[in-house]
Structure formats: structure tokens, C-alpha cells
Amino acid sequence: MGSLNLYILKRRIRKWWKYLVVLIFLLAVYFGGFFHITGNISTTPPSEHSRNTMKEVFALRRQIRLLKSVLKQYSIPEKEYSDVLLPVIYVITPTYTRPQQKAELTSRLKSVFLHVPALHWIVVEDAPKKSQMVSNFLESSGLTHTHLHQSTPQEWKLKDSDPKWRKPRGVLQRNAGIRWLRSKFAHDANPRGVVYFADDDNTYSVELFHEMRDTHKVSVWPVALVGGVLVERPLVGSNGQVSSWLAGWKADRPFAMDMAGFAVNLSLLLNKSGVEFSIDAPIGFQESVFLEKLITQEELEPKADLCTKVYVWHTRTEQPDLKQEIRLNKVGKHTDEGIEL
């Protein structure tokens, strides 16, 4: 009997051994031991953490494909985004704490800057110290960045009752950015690059950065939705130079344009010692007072098809309605408890 049982067992094994081998192999793979012994590939089931990392890598790969297609769409040659020798665009952004800050930094700036090669974002918080939110945001942004802070003294801060134009905004923060550049290039007589001042509530198009890339001195272009008109823009004469300004508000400013309407060559800015923004410039003359220290009108380089295309909009964001939040706060509830927005 015993030998019959053994015989049947042997036959069964002969019939099923392939399946058994596969089963044993799968078990070994699952528990990781097999490849641990061979020492080459660890197939331990991925931890939650590495599974998330893998998901992120796949998502980033998808994003790269998307970005490449966007660059192609704008006819930006591959050389432009793969060439490490491109002049870097240093974008200086003043920013301050408010409920929609992260939304602005995300949608209006980060999402666009990710499409721009060789961009270094200098974010300057108007605050006595750097905030955790902005630190985390920049760390995970995937952008080359520098995080600074510079608070505006109380006497230069807008009061709630003040109209917006009463005090200049972002001035000391832009200067902190310029100073950082001065110290970074202190030993470089002729650094290559471009400086652009990008407020955190404007709308920027990818092409804008393509236009400003080869700024020899100061380049200029139209800005939409500013100064009470649809477009404020430099007018270009037949000799290709800026002849005058089309603006509604204070059209007689020496440089009648918004902060978003020009970029400066890095060497030009750094080689003129001490050029900065003035907190006490007459209202509306912030840009003019700064540019007069650097350039004359004839030397400006008109971009965006001789200033006939709009690539930047001076948008503003509506204040969020937080009436219910305020009501809840009064009874000790905070909808943002334990969550960052």
C-alpha cells in the first residue's frame, strides 16, 4: 500500500512539477528571499514610501513629455531647453502672506516657470523670517531657487484703510534680490544673465521668457490690463527704436511702463554700483527712477514683435470671501487646522 501511495505521489509530482516550480518561484519573489540570496535585485514588496516615489517618478516623466510638447508648440528649439550654456534668467519675486499666496505662487508663477529653461527664481518674502509654507513650496517646486526675506518697515506698509497706490509695494524685497545677485557675482566682472522682476499676481506666458533671453541692456514689451488701459506699450519707430509710450495714466513718465514690462542685463545692473529701487520714488515713478540710472530710451531693445504682442498681463486676484471662516474662528474652529493652503 505504502509503495502504491508513493507511486501515485511520484506520478502526480511528475505531472504537476512545472506548476510547483512556478509557485515556489512566485512565493520566493513575493517574500524577497530568493533575490536577496542572489544579491542582485531586491524584490521585497515596495514599501508605501517607495511606491509613492515610483508614482511620483512616473508622474514627472509624463510631465516632461508634456513640457516638451509645449516647447515644441511654441517653436522653442530643443537647443534652448537642453543647452546648459543659456544665459540664466534671474526672476525676482516679492511676496507676502495672505490666504491666496500659495495659489498665486503655484498657478501664476511655478506652473509657468517649469516650462522655462535656465531660470533661477529668487523669492523674497516681505516678512521678518522665512515661512515654512514658502520653504516647502520652493523645495518641492522642481525649480532652481533662492529663498530670502526682507520685511517692509511699518511706516511703509499699507494700512487697511489706505488706497493701494498710497505706498510702494515689493521695493525692499526686489532690492534684497538685487543685493543677493551682487554678492553672488562679487568676483565675476562680467556675469552672463538677465534679471526680471515678476510680481506674484501677474499672468506670464512662456514666450515672454523666450523674448527676454537675449537682453543686451534693457528689453521692453507691452503689458496688458495696467494703468487703467487695456495695453500699455512702447511705440517703436521705423528705426526700430522706442520713440514714445502709449499709456493712459501719467503717459509723460520717462519710462511709461510697469515693472512687468522690462528685463535688465545682469552685467549692466551689477556693474553700475548701488543701482536699486527707491522706496521714496514719486508714486508711479518706481520703474522710471530705476531705469533712468541704467539706460536711455533710444537704447531700449523692443521685443515681442516690436512691441505688438502681449505676453504678460497685470492681473489682480479678487480677495477671497472668508466671512464664514471668520465666524467659525470666533467659536474656536479653523478650517485650515492641520492643513496647509
Binding site for Mn ion (CB under 5 A): 199, 201
> For residues 138 and 121, what is the distance between their CA atoms, to the nearest angstrom?
9
Q: Closest CB to ligand UGA belongs to which residue?
A: 170
126 binds, among Mn ion, ligand UGA, none (CB under 5 to 8 A by kind): ligand UGA
Instruction: Give least dist CB 144 to ligand UGA, A.
Output: 19
| Nearer CB in complex with ligand UGA: 93/267 | 93
Report CA-CA distances (Å) from 180 to 147, 150, 211.
Answer: 10, 12, 25
H-helix segments, the chain = 2-31, 33-38, 48-73, 78-82, 101-103, 111-113, 132-139, 171-184, 206-212, 266-271, 286-292, 304-307, 323-330
3-state secondary structure of 189: coil
Query: According to the annotation, is 253 in a ligand binding site?
Result: no
Could you tell me which residues come within 8 angstroms of residue 320 by beta carbon, excluding any fewer than 6 positions away? 99, 100
| Nearer CB in complex with Mn ion: 94/117 | 94
Contact 53, 83 (CB under 8 A): no
Strands 312-313 and 203-204: antiparallel
Instruction: Give least dist CB 167 to ligand UGA, A.
Output: 7
According to the binding rule CB under 6 A, does residue 258 interact with ligand UGA?
Answer: yes
Query: According to the annotation, is 174 in a ligand binding site?
Result: yes
Q: How many CB atoms lie within 10 A of CB 245?
A: 19
Query: According to the annotation, is 316 in a ligand binding site?
Result: yes
According to the binding rule CB under 6 A, does residue 314 interact with ligand UGA?
Answer: yes
Instruction: Give least dist CB 123 to Mn ion, A.
Output: 15
Could you tell me which residues come within 8 angstroms of residue 79 by beta carbon, excluding any fewer than 6 positions away? none
Q: Which of 90, 110, 126, 242 binds ligand UGA (CB under 6 A)?
A: 126
Segment interacting with ligand UGA (CB under 6 A) among 10-18, 74-82, 162-170, 186-194: 162-170
According to the binding rule CB under 6 A, does residue 201 interact with ligand UGA?
Answer: yes
| Nearer CB in complex with ligand UGA: 35/96 | 96
Q: Which of 117, 170, 234, 261 binds ligand UGA (CB under 6 A)?
A: 170
Q: Which of 108, 110, 169, 303 binds ligand UGA (CB under 6 A)?
A: 169
- Looking at residue 41, the DSSP 8-state letter turns out to be -
Count, in order, helices (H) and strands (E) of the chain: 13, 12
Contact 232, 141 (CB under 8 A): no
Could you tell me which residues come within 8 angstroms of residue 139 by beta carbon, excluding any fewer than 6 positions away? none
Instruction: Give least dist CB 253 to ligand UGA, A.
Output: 12
Active site residues: 287
According to the binding rule CB under 6 A, does residue 325 interact with ligand UGA?
Answer: no
3-state secondary structure of 260: helix
Residues touching ligand UGA: how many (CB under 6 A)? 19
Q: Which of 34, 35, 81, 96 binds ligand UGA (CB under 6 A)?
A: 96
Binding residues for UDP-alpha-D-glucuronate: 94-96, 126, 169, 174, 199-201, 314-316
Contact positions toward ligand UGA, by CB under 6 A?
Answer: 93-96, 126, 152, 164, 168-170, 173, 199-201, 258-259, 286, 314, 316
Binding residues: 94-96, 126, 169, 174, 199-201, 314-316
